[in-house]
Structures are given as C-alpha cells and as structure tokens.
C-alpha cells in the first residue's frame, strides 16, 4: 500500500504543503505519489530534487513515474523539469477500471481518464570503471 512507502514531507511554518512517496526497485527510483498542497510555489520541485539526491546516492540510473492523460498540470510540470515521456499505454486506465470500478471516469478538469503515461528522468551513465578497481599488470 502507498502509505507503507518511504518518502519526504514538505512543510512551511509547521504546516504540511507537500508529500512524495517512492519505491526503489529493478526499474529505478519510482515516484509513486507526488502531491503539492501549495501549487506553483516550488513545493513539488523541491520534493523531486530531494528524490533525485536519494536516487543518485543509491546508484539509481533513472527516476520514473506513471501519470494519466487527464493530469495536465502534472504533465506540464514534469516536462518543465526536464522529464521525458517514455511510454504511453493507451487504454490502460480503462482496462484497470474493469477490475476497479471505483476509478473515476473523468479527471478534475472533465477530461476522460484513459491512458497511462510513463515519464522518466535519466541520471546518466556511471563513470567508466564505476565500482571496479583496475587490475595492475606487469609488476616485478
């Protein structure tokens, strides 16, 4: 369940203004939940910067997440922060709704919620010989 996941809180003057929950696995650092309660004030940017720091520290090659086609502000936000769309799974939400009818048919803005979009932030290749000590030859 999402609430068992590790994450970070953003607070301002003791009040909660944002939340990020993540999962680190074989596919990299997944941002499972990102929520800003004080929009367009840099809260989500700050949380993602913390996430990137943890991901880099853990040796992850990428951060990734899945959102849906109706989350227009999230789509604009990730692209503005340098994330790229790497997959669109057409009809994936409609498919999930067959098993979970409680998934709403429309987003807050009235758009039909149908497709999943995967975004990623690549963290670049590790340096050459990362973690490998060169072998010394020819001594003596």
Ligand X SMILES: CC(C)(COP(=O)(O)OP(=O)(O)OC[C@H]1O[C@@H](n2cnc3c(N)ncnc32)[C@H](O)[C@@H]1OP(=O)(O)O)[C@@H](O)C(=O)NCCC(=O)NCCS
Q: Which residues bind ligand X (CB under 6 A)?
A: 34-36, 39-45, 65, 67, 71, 73-74, 76-77, 80
Nearer to ligand X by Cβ, of 53 and 73: the residue is 73
Alpha-carbon separation of residue 78 from 37, 63, 114 (angstroms)? 17, 11, 19
CB of 92 to ligand X, least distance (A): 14
Alpha-carbon separation of residue 75 from 4, 25, 52, 116, 117 (angstroms)? 26, 23, 18, 11, 9
Alpha-carbon separation of residue 69 from 1, 3, 75, 79 (angstroms)? 23, 24, 8, 14
Q: What is the CA radius of gyration of the chain?
A: 19
CB of 38 to ligand X, least distance (A): 7
Nearer to ligand X by Cβ, of 43 and 92: the residue is 43
CB of 11 to ligand X, least distance (A): 13
Nearer to ligand X by Cβ, of 60 and 116: the residue is 116
Nearer to ligand X by Cβ, of 34 and 60: the residue is 34
CB of 93 to ligand X, least distance (A): 13
118: β partners: 66, 87
């Amino acid at each position: 369940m999402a609430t068992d996941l590790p994450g970070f809180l953003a607070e301002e003057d003791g009040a909660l203004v944002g939340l990020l929950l993540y999962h680190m696995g074989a596919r990299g650092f997944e941002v499972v939940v990102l929520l800003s309660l004080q929009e367009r004030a840099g809260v989500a940017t700050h949380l993602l910067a913390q996430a990137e720091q943890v991901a880099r520290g853990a040796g992850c090659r990428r951060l990734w997440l899945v959102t849906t086609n109706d989350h227009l502000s999230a789509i604009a936000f990730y692209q503005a922060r340098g994330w790229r769309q790497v997959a669109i799974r057409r009809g994936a939400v409609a498919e999930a709704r067959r098993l979970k009818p409680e998934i709403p048919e429309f987003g807050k803005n009235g758009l039909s919620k149908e497709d999943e979009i995967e975004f990623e932030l690549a963290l670049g290749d590790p340096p050459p010989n990362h973690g490998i000590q060169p072998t010394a030859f020819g001594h003596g």
